[in-house]
Amino acid sequence: MQFFSYLGYLGFALTLILPALATVYIARMYGRSWRLWLLLSVLLPFVSVLLIIVVVSRESLRQEREEDARVAAEKAARRRPGAGTPDAQ
């Protein structure tokens, strides 16, 4: 009977540890402060996983928009007749 109570403790510990590990892994992968995210994930295990995913996805979208704007500006500069060529003078 005592074996099952230990399984309950193990299950509870895994419930706290697995979200923390996932949060720390994602934070390190994207260059975030893993110590801060570890503390947050210990305090709010499941909320922290969702929060890091939202933060990282918003940052990725912002970087994609900046890259798209840069590429569009480069394409526009190439389309202008004589832009950047010495023969245009």
Within a domain: 25? yes
* Rounded Cα–Cα distance for residues 53 and 65 (Å): 18
Give pLDDT tens digits for 33-88. Answer: 999 999 999 899 889 999 999 999 999 999 999 999 999 999 999 987 665 556 55
pTM of the model: 0.66
What is the predicted pLDDT for the residue at 15? 86
- The residue among 65, 69, 63, 71 whose CA lies nearest residue 30 is 63
The domain of 66 spans 17-78
Within a domain: 64? yes
Count of domains for the chain: 1
Within a domain: 24? yes
Within a domain: 66? yes
Within a domain: 87? no
Within a domain: 57? yes
* Rounded Cα–Cα distance for residues 79 and 29 (Å): 38
